[in-house]
Amino acid sequence: MSRIENHIILGDLEEKKEVQITVDGQVITAREGEPILSALLANGIKVQNISAKKHEPRGYFCGIGRCTNCVMTVNGDPNVRTCVALVEDGMVVETQDGLGKWEESK
């Protein structure tokens, strides 16, 4: 994993519990409570979705939840902004193709 351990403004990286999340079928290590996007970038995952119009890969852009570049399907819910959604142990994250699909409730 590659992370910034010491930031000139934010200081030292706070210790947090390591958890496992599944991204597109691959289990990765993340830090509980960090933004999903942080865990993805720390594990070398740069593409979060495929654009609906041009079918091109999209990823990190604003990092504050204002755009939709980082939306992914999280635990079956599409269009989750991964830059502001927080990691929970055992969550399932999938690269979203286009606008995403809502699964019908049973």
Residue 103 placed within a domain: no
Residue with tokens 């204002």: 66
Q: In the numeric block, which tokens belong to residue 44? A: 């070398």
pLDDT band at 95 (very low <50, low <70, confident <90, very high): very high
Residue 50 placed within a domain: yes
Nearest Cα to Cα of residue 4 among 32, 27, 34: 34
At residue 1, the pLDDT reads 57
pLDDT band at 28 (very low <50, low <70, confident <90, very high): very high
- Cα separation, 24 vs 52, whole angstroms: 19
Look at residue 54 and tell me whether its pLDDT is greater than 70.
yes
Strand spans (E) along 10-68: 11-12, 18-23, 26-31, 49-50, 57-58
CATH number at residue 40: 3.10.20.440
Residue 38 placed within a domain: yes
Q: Backbone phi, then psi, for 14, in 5-degree steps?
A: -70, 140
pTM of the entire structure?
Answer: 0.85
Domain holding 21, by residue range, is 6-97
Q: In the numeric block, which tokens belong to residue 19? A: 């958890």
Residue 86 placed within a domain: yes
